[in-house]
Amino acid sequence: MADTGERVRVDFRTEPSKYRHWRLAFDGRVATLAMDVKEDGGLRPGYELKLNSYDLGVDVELYDAIQRLRFEHPEVGAVIVTSGKERVFCAGANIRMLSQSAHGWKVNFCKFTNETRNAIEEATGESRQFYLCAVNGPCAGGGYELALATDWIVMADDGNTAVSLPEVPLLAVLPGTGGLTRLVDKRRVRRDRADFFCTVEEGIKGARAVEWGLVDEVVPRSKLDEVVKRRAAEFAARTDRPAGARGIALAPLERSIDGDRIRYGPVACAIDRARGLAEITVSGPSGPPPADTAAIREAGGAFWPLAVARELDDLILHLRTNEDEIGLWVFKTSGRADLVEAHDRVLAAHRDDWLVREIRLYLKRTFKRVEVSSRSVFALVEPGSCFVGTLLELVLAADRSYMLDGARSGDTNPPATIRLTEMNFGAYPMVNGLTRLASRFLAEPGRTDKLRARIGEDLDSAAAAEAGLVTFTPDDIDWDDEVRIAIEERAAFSPDALTGMEASIRFGGPETLESKIFGRLSAWQNWIFQRGNAVGPKGALEVYGTGRRSEFDRRRV
């Protein structure tokens, strides 16, 4: 984590009995998620998490809580996010943690934190589990960004409580998890007002905060709990989540790490450090899918699509945070295409069931996480693969794909094929709001409709290439050399240049709140966090809290 070379290995697996920073409470259709950060509970020594400031460990718990609220509590229609401390909501990301952290850690921290806030917004918009925020004390920086992720903000009107984004005046950086974008794109705050708000350290409180659209209502502190509970009940009454349904437990995720091999259930990974790559293999289901939604509930976390989502999600986070020198992820699959297709039919047929909806959304979030990660992504389609429907999304998410033309000498498997299913046509949109097929064929929008007619058809290498679904189709003679050269060439390029290139070309077409946030995070925040004005010896982030003044290079670039 630190620039001195010290490393912190982060485990993203947790559950409520292990939480140190959050408290969950339930009252019928309403849940309360209270932030009560333990000051000495940081991921590493060297800083105290005062005033509900947070580091990555705090957000790991928040992410887990959001997942459990969606899967384990179908009865919950509204979630109140508040502070468990008196007269302080959240001071944002811990400044000492940031000043001690290596650049890559800071950027990954911002990215994961933003993905967690996106999950809150998706829960409101797609899962009908509405989030609202009770601001019971000063709410600054990342604390306000957390509030912005909710759909309704109620703030105490007590002369002390204010919302603020003070990163520019105090730290010479930007709000790292979408604050600027949510301010003007989501809450539609006027540009001139947003400009003033983002340059005033003390923030804005009371009636002006409502007038400017920074919060939705302010109430006397004595009435805050009463008003928030009433609003939560109103939101909960609008949900379509089943009050009497039984949730499924997200049991601890089993994972083994043996040297450079990582093993879950359907998901496995082998790291080749010499070549800087992680070979990720997703195995298809071993049997037919459950017959109905009752059987899906009975299967719980063992239901193959949910198992894949959970395991792949954890692996991506592990690789992204703990293996930053592994710059290329190579996806493979293994299994029976018909069984993958059968599971996709279940996901499509029961899309209106609350649990199936959550599983589809989880897969959507996981595929998005692949694409917003600063890693190159290849897919290899070989005999024995099962890149069908949901798993075909990995091919479509890849920066390039290779499909073996014909059979491999000495291999008893038939030639490789790929297969489209209904799940490729809307279930898993990218951050730009388009399906991967639509993003792939921006110049030929009619091609996606034509491909729908080929659902269920086995496409060999020639057909897949003609359909534009794979990049290259070498035969058995050329396969090893062509794949080897591609991997070696990728490793020879600058990682910085690749990160910028990939982030620029992955999300063509329309912009959304998410694509703006991730595009800007990969460019502006990445750049600003390396500038001397922020992190130099006399930069704002370095001298914060010392009593010394920042010294800025005044040249605009």
Least confident of 164-178, 226-240, 348-362: 164-178
Q: 317 with 269: CB under 8 angstroms?
A: no
Predicted pLDDT of residue 519: 79
Predicted pLDDT of residue 3: 38
Residues with Cβ within 8 Å of 188's Cβ and at least 6 positions away in sequence, in order, are 213
- For the segment 150-171, the average pLDDT, to the nearest whole number, is 95
User: Is the model more confident about 541 or about 4?
Assistant: 541
Q: Which two tokens stand for residue 132?
A: 């609202």
CATH fourth-level superfamily of 256-505: 2-enoyl-CoA Hydratase; Chain A, domain 1 (3.90.226.10)
Decide if 16-236 and 256-505 have a common fold: yes
Burial zone of 206 (CB within 10 Å; 0-12 exposed, 13-18 middle, 19+ buried): middle
Q: 402 with 380: CB under 8 angstroms?
A: yes
CB-CB neighbours of 294 under 10 Å: 10
Least confident of 168-182, 187-201, 367-381: 168-182
Least confident of 161-165, 324-328, 521-525: 521-525
- For the segment 238-242, the average pLDDT, to the nearest whole number, is 97
Predicted pLDDT of residue 4: 37
Q: Write out the H or E segment, with its range, that includes residue 61.
A: helix 56-71
Q: Please determine, for residue 512, whether its predicted confidence score (pLDDT) is greater than 70.
A: yes
CATH class given for the domain over 16-236: alpha beta
For the chain, counts of helices (H) and of strands (E):
23, 17
Question: Domain boundaries in the chain?
Answer: 16-236, 256-505
Give the model confidence (pLDDT) of 69-119 as tens digits.
Answer: 999 999 999 999 999 998 899 999 999 998 888 888 988 899 999 999 999
pLDDT-above-70 percentage for the chain: 98
Q: 42 with 48: CB under 8 angstroms?
A: yes
Closest CA to 306 of 265, 362, 344, 249: 362
Closest CA to 248 of 319, 354, 338: 354
Give the model confidence (pLDDT) of 256-284 as tens digits.
Answer: 999 999 999 999 999 999 999 999 999 99
Least confident of 4-8, 205-209, 215-219: 4-8
pLDDT-above-90 percentage for the chain: 85
Q: 308 with 280: CB under 8 angstroms?
A: no
